[in-house]
Amino acid sequence: MRAVFDAGTYFPDRPPTWLEVGITLLVTGTVAEKVLRGDVVSWPALWAGFAVFAVALGPASQSTLGARIGQWFRGLDGFTRGAAIVLFVAGFALLSRFAWFPDALLSDFGSGGLLAAVCYMVVYVAWAGGVSGWTSGGADGP
């Protein structure tokens, strides 16, 4: 019988790398600064972003569609993966430029998503019991 919550299904089969942890610390600083300065305009937008990203990082990533998208993305070479990320960011920028809702709501939604990613990394490090080298493939990687 499968457990209700099996953390191993939500994380890679390796400990996080220092690069991943470092990026998470940068994100933490960005989100914390915004919240501590009181720049959050819409708490509901922030929590909606948190919820959407938490579902995307957890249960949705384990769905058939999520697994296919993850497999496709991991199958890309470095240049193509970078291009996909740039296109996503460009699409996000266009949405914020031409959408009917205020930029502040989109920003708060994104901050909530970043907060969910930070929480994911904290749980991942705790679950893995530590951090490995700088990258996942190499002398100390699988």
101: left (phi over 0), alpha (psi -120 to 50) or beta: beta
Residue 137 has pLDDT above 70, yes or no: no
- Helix segments in 41-102, DSSP class H: 43-57, 64-74, 78-98
The two tokens of residue 102 are 């205020």
pLDDT digits (tens, 9 = 90+) for 13-64: 889 999 999 999 998 988 888 888 888 888 999 999 999 999 998 888 888 8
Helix (H) or strand (E) holding 13: none
Note the pLDDT of residue 142: 43
CA count, 13 A, side-chain hemisphere, 30: 16
Model confidence pLDDT, tens digit, residues 85-125: 899 888 877 877 776 767 788 888 989 999 999 999 999 99
C-alpha span between 11 and 29 (Å, rounded): 23
pLDDT the model gives residue 141: 41
Which residue type, as a one-letter code, is found at position 33? E
Q: Residues near 14 by Cβ (< 8 Å), separated by ≥ 6?
A: 128, 132, 136, 141, 142
Please tell me what DSSP assigns to residue 137. S
Query: d(Cα 82, Cα 95) in Å, to the nearest integer?
Result: 20
**Summary count for the chain: helices (H), strands (E):** 5, 0
